[in-house]
Structure 1
């Protein structure tokens, strides 16, 4: 279920200082960042699939999905991809970074619903927050998580202290060192998707393109979470527009129905 847009734009669109509490490697090429605000965060509560722009001084702004929130502490999962994330990984505990958000629309199941979650690689990043919300809503999540090599896996339950109630996970790897050998899209072929109230996929764009082709046609309850360039986060600059639509990822997304982003996904590699 897409949540309403948050019209309280200030101070969401201003960078605020956060102190780094933890910034450690937890899997192959994958890091956990934990930051803490000097002030109370009572004025906002991050929702599943919200994202934040992380300002790495003198380098870049990096949009990262919120992985978890615990009081004044925000948790992020990120993978080393370029100069911005590599520089972020070098930031020391006790130093400060600028954070702007929460941005985008939240997304969560309705009370008592059952959802199928398909995550590819670091697409798992927003799922701990989704699990937390599912526990509060008595909802159920069946999660399929696919990676290229099994060293990319990490223990979600242990890191975020999540009880096993309300969710299950199937690990899929291309090196065949997991529950299922192959691609995560192949792993869900044996699943009866019609028994779910909704399906959502998060991951590389080519994976999302295949997912929507196989499961999006004729279904209004099939969603994907997109990534694209995000600059202002306010819906002004237009850098994150969704192709052949009037939608912007930073205010209307990042979660969309497959039917809404068909043209956007057409450019993905086969």
Structure 2
């Protein structure tokens, strides 16, 4: 018997997503553990309380729930529905930038890359946004004192919440961020409150000139582990350095994730344990598990 929550979701979605979920119903009798995962998540209309423009491409949406927030961990994400857009059927997966439990708010860092995210950028205080959350496998906290958090571009998105979580656990986060130029960066004061912040830009307009993977902190630092998110070549390079130094390393993949529950299979990722779904088994993976 199909859970009523899943039936409600199918009725709730746009036609394009509807067809995908209807297809997934045929999987329910074979893999109920995949579909039942959705029932444990919240599907909720949240109030938009802020839209802060960071630079030409990026902005932060602040959303408020009418209920206490569920447990949300660094590296998890939400699937956002795009309303009033005839060309945008699929939800957009967006990482949690920060969580404020006292005010029942969350912040999402979003980069405009197409029609769907441009639509999100037009939202303002008083609007509502339907999301499914929290989704995905989060970052792992391990024993140790100092950890490197390396991110390129919008890969910065999950690093603030991760940095706060590490510091609350008595650990020392060190941030290494890269971008093409200073125009793609934004105010990093919240990160500076948590630990040291190192910057690289390809044109040298901010921080050290060059690629993030060329920064000397990668070799000079004595880290107990590292976490990374951003372009795949960057994460692969970070993983190689971590392997050579024999330290723990996790990355957050940016695979296309249409459904968020492992049903559509579009985010399949080869691993040493076989094919895994980035939206359910990830997006965070230990780099030793990845075949890339």
TM-score, with structure 2 as normaliser: 0.78
Mapped contact 2:181–2:206 kept (Cα < 8 A): no
Instruction: State the Cα deviation string for residues 123-167 of structure 1 (Å, max 9, x = none).
Output: 111111012111210111111100001122222334xxx6725x2
Mapped contact 1:172–1:182 kept (Cα < 8 A): yes
For structure 1, list consecutive stretches of 5 or more residues without a partner in the other structure: 1-6, 264-270
Mapped contact 2:48–2:126 kept (Cα < 8 A): yes
Cα deviation for residue 110 of structure 1 reads 3.3
Instruction: State the Cα deviation string for residues 167-204 of structure 1 (Å, max 9, x = none).
Output: 211011112122211110111466335x2111122101
Mapped contact 1:109–1:134 kept (Cα < 8 A): yes
Q: Which of 262, 268, 271 is the equivalent residue of 1:235?
A: 262
Cα deviation for residue 220 of structure 1 reads 6.0
Mapped contact 1:48–1:107 kept (Cα < 8 A): yes
TM-score, with structure 1 as normaliser: 0.84
For structure 2, list consecutive stretches of 5 or more residues without a partner in the other structure: 1-35
What is the aligned partner in structure 2 of residue 51 from structure 1? 77
Distance 2:166 2:38 in 1: 27
Cα deviation for residue 15 of structure 1 reads 2.5
Distance 2:212 2:114 in 1: 25
What is the aligned partner in structure 1 of residue 100 from structure 2? 70
Aligned length: 249
CA RMSD for the aligned pairs?
Answer: 2.2
Taking a change above 3 Å as real, the CA distance of residues 115 and 220 of structure 1, as seen in their structure-2 partners, is: closer
Mapped contact 1:55–1:98 kept (Cα < 8 A): yes
Larger Rg: 2
Q: Which stretch of structure 1 is more off in the superposition, 229-238 or 18-27?
A: 229-238
What is the aligned partner in structure 1 of residue 183 from structure 2? 151
What is the aligned partner in structure 1 of residue 61 from structure 2? 33
Taking a change above 3 Å as real, the CA distance of residues 183 and 52 of structure 1, as seen in their structure-2 partners, is: same
